[in-house]
Structure 1
Amino acid sequence: MEEEATKYIWEGAIPLQIKLHESEITSFPPPPPLMILGLRIGYLPLLVPPLKAHFSSTLPPGTDNVWFDYKGLPLKWYIPTGVLFDLLCAEPERPWNLTVHFRGSPGDVLTPCEGEESVKWSYINSLKEAAYVINGNCKNVMNMSQADQYDLWQSLLKGNMEGYLKISSKLKLGPFGEDSLPSEESEIVASSRPSRIPVRLYIRSVGEEIVDIEDAPIIDSWDKISYINRPFEIYKEEGGYVSLKQALKSLLPETFNTNSSQEESSTNVKDPNAPDFEDDNAKLRLVRVQGIEPDMDIPFFWLANCLRNPEFYLHICVFISKQPKLR
């Protein structure tokens, strides 16, 4: 089951229709948009070579400084393509219509991207951060041979899951949790396996008056999205592992009140699979992980094992009725 889920993630792609911004078109008629598949686990700057080849005959003179926008919002290049799609398209848009710019990157919004090398080192740094969360150090990543580092990156570029698993297994960063063994053996395994999950949360407020999620207003500023890195400690509740719903309440205490009375009342919800739960601070409207809206009672460790990205972070997009007040 886990292997099938991992394969699903690696094969996941988003159909993109990418047009050149009108201010950079120097030919008539203007070039048609490029239709291309973007890997969910990939990054938009990795699509630049085919885009440049497609639009090269119409670009104005100058030095390339490539960036993308969606309905006017500059897209952060270091966030995986699938996460951007899940977060910004409340109602999934296929193809996803993006605009590419080769000039004038907005330095006040985006950090510069120098092409594939920038993306590679951003990925490696995220891998180091994840290793530190999991093991308390990032020695395994720091000590990778140049050959392994090259092969790991190339496997991500090409969507080669087998090659990636072969190299990443040497890092000893998973799997998380264990519930298929007898209790005594399980305790032994748990003590020698990672127990802290690296999590990246993207919190988007859709407004209190929205009835249907597809009517959520367009995001025109990254200030309207809270971006949080937090580790989650795996633990076992009586009767089973902690659920996604329980994990979210623990990860986002400033958003979801977690006092005991509310925990008790949550057991009386009529539909245990419903994503909505409400308290004094916020109402949860939607949760997406890798394009999936998971059952809120699913074991959190399963999500971390099966739906994490190749840098070992679990990216979770959360849509709420109110903007959280972060401490």
Structure 2
Amino acid sequence: MESKAAATTATEAQKYVWEGAIPLQIHLHHSEVTTLPPPPPALILAPRLGYLPLLVPQIKPFFSSTLPPGVDTVWFEYKGLPLKWYIPTGVLYDLLCAEPERPWNLTVHFRGYPGNILTPCEGEDSIKWSFINSLKEAAYIINGNCKSVMNMSQSDQSELWQSVLNGNLETYLWVSSKLKLGLGGDDFSIKLNSSSLKSRQSANEADASGPIKAGRIPVRLYVRSTNEDFDDVEDVPLVDSWDKVSYINRPVEIHDNGKAFTLGDAVKSLLPELFPNKSLPSDNMCLPEGEDGERSALEDTSNTGSARSPEETGETLREHLESCSLSDTAEVKLIRIQGIEPKPEIPFAWVVNNLMNPEHYIHISVHVRVQEPITE
């Protein structure tokens, strides 16, 4: 009973994350309006941990009477940028709105799917597959195998997915505790909790002096780099192409050396291209095989360790920055996780235990200034 109680006890920060929502104002693209006057925008709350296509059943009734004939192929855009459906809504918002926009104005399309930019999405089934696949990858990173996910019963898998859809944190914690991936009261989680809780009375009084047990933490890092300095998020340039976002899929290596390990340490360890004095995580880690026997799409990585999204064909972070002078020129200007901007000095243990997404990845949006090399 004690272990089950521990598995279903959520922290205040976890509750805050799971209850988080973004107000959306969704406009139908003018090319699909067939009536006068045009329909007003739809106003809805989107769960941060959810995915945009899951909102379609709520959105379509606002626009169904004005749509042109044809088959629905729904996709969203923000200021001309098609939005990747498999990135959680909150992550998209944190990444693309350096200056938070409330409500967030998006455009919805029911026709003309941009297949050259986005992979096909067959509604909830595609999103569930993407979620479970990410969960397998996280399990492999943490445990060295993904057997616990592969061996889930259909009922547990269904209950886990429904808990994410419905925002039911208690059910999620109970089902996911069976996977033993660090949030169910196992030794790894206990050690992390112990190191962070003993070192602070509150998040604002964090003392990063506690040791953390060795291990791998699944992280997805979204990096926007600029050569221009800025002191205000209003000055951050707009993202008008996914080529301007470097997508990094690397585990954070935590070594049991008794030293403090902060969020800033973790981010720098994930960016050896920018901070070469930090150790590069091992790149020879194999990702799990899918149910069809094929390797995960994220295994399509270069030897630099920069992972690409399934349809991403842009350059790697190292290629993008190879002309920059790396020594003492990179500066992390902004870190955003789950809608908050934690200080780099916060214990990474606290981030792991409180700000992780349901698929056991930590999604971190980072803005980095990289100084142009001096040429004579």
1:3-47: per-residue Cα shift (whole Å, max 9, x none)? 111111100000000010000011111111000011110000000
- Where in structure 2 are the equivalents of 1:5-154 lying within 5 Å? 5-154=13-162
Does 1:216 find its partner at 2:236? yes
What is the one-letter code of the residue matched to 1:134? I
Q: Pick closer, same or farther for the CA change 1:209–1:302 going to 2, 3 Å.
A: closer
How far off its partner does 1:304 sit? Answer: 1.2
What residue number does 1:284 align with? Answer: 332
How far off its partner does 1:130 sit? Answer: 0.5
How far off its partner does 1:235 sit? Answer: 2.6
Distance in 1 of aligned mates of 2:153 and 2:85: 27
Q: Is the 8 A contact 1:234 1:301 kept in 2?
A: no
- Where in structure 2 are the equivalents of 1:215-234 lying within 5 Å? 215-234=235-254
What is the one-letter code of the residue matched to 1:74? P
Q: Pick closer, same or farther for the CA change 1:181–1:35 going to 2, 3 Å.
A: closer
What residue number does 1:255 align with? Answer: 274
1:178-224: per-residue Cα shift (whole Å, max 9, x none)? 16669xxxxxxx99x88210000000124414342211111100000
Distance in 1 of aligned mates of 2:147 and 2:273: 33
What is the one-letter code of the residue matched to 2:261? V
What is the one-letter code of the residue matched to 2:272? P
Q: Pick closer, same or farther for the CA change 1:115–1:254 going to 2, 3 Å.
A: same
Structure 2, unaligned stretches of length 5 or more?
A: 1-8, 196-210, 280-325
RMSD, matched Cα: 2.3
- Where in structure 2 are the equivalents of 1:139-178 lying within 5 Å? 139-175=147-183, 176=188, 178=191
Secondary structure, counterpart of 1:241 in structure 2 = coil
1:234-293: per-residue Cα shift (whole Å, max 9, x none)? 23454x531111112211111123269xxxxxxxxxxxxxxxxx9534221100010111
Q: Is the 8 A contact 1:24 1:58 kept in 2?
A: yes
Q: Pick closer, same or farther for the CA change 1:286–1:237 going to 2, 3 Å.
A: farther
Distance in 1 of aligned mates of 2:72 and 2:95: 28
Distance in 1 of aligned mates of 2:36 and 2:44: 23
Distance in 2 of aligned mates of 1:37 and 1:111: 25
How far off its partner does 1:124 sit? Answer: 0.6
What is the one-letter code of the residue matched to 1:229? N
Q: Pick closer, same or farther for the CA change 1:143–1:252 going to 2, 3 Å.
A: same
Q: Pick closer, same or farther for the CA change 1:320–1:311 going to 2, 3 Å.
A: same
Q: Pick closer, same or farther for the CA change 1:235–1:299 going to 2, 3 Å.
A: farther
Q: Pick closer, same or farther for the CA change 1:76–1:5 going to 2, 3 Å.
A: same
Q: Is the 8 A contact 1:287 1:318 kept in 2?
A: yes
Does 1:242 find its partner at 2:261? yes
Distance in 2 of aligned mates of 1:157 and 1:93: 24
Q: Pick closer, same or farther for the CA change 1:94–1:181 going to 2, 3 Å.
A: closer
Distance in 2 of aligned mates of 1:194 and 1:152: 28
Q: Pick closer, same or farther for the CA change 1:285–1:181 going to 2, 3 Å.
A: closer
What is the one-letter code of the residue matched to 1:249? K
Distance in 1 of aligned mates of 2:194 and 2:110: 54
What residue number does 2:304 align with? Answer: none
Q: Normalized against structure 2, the TM-score is what?
A: 0.75
1:116-165: per-residue Cα shift (whole Å, max 9, x none)? 11111010100001001011111110111111111111111111111111
Q: Normalized against structure 1, the TM-score is what?
A: 0.86
What residue number does 1:196 align with? Answer: 216
Q: Which stretch of the first structure deviates more once superposed, 224-233 or 278-287? A: 278-287
Identity %: 65
Q: Pick closer, same or farther for the CA change 1:254–1:32 going to 2, 3 Å.
A: same
Distance in 2 of aligned mates of 1:96 and 1:69: 11
Secondary structure, counterpart of 1:233 in structure 2 = strand
How far off its partner does 1:233 sit? Answer: 1.9
How far off its partner does 1:169 sit? Answer: 0.6
Q: Which stretch of the first structure deviates more once superposed, 251-260 or 33-42? A: 251-260
Moved over 4 A (4+): 179-182
Distance in 2 of aligned mates of 1:283 and 1:290: 21
Q: Pick closer, same or farther for the CA change 1:216–1:255 going to 2, 3 Å.
A: same
Q: Is the 8 A contact 1:257 1:281 kept in 2?
A: no
How far off its partner does 1:2 sit? Answer: 6.4
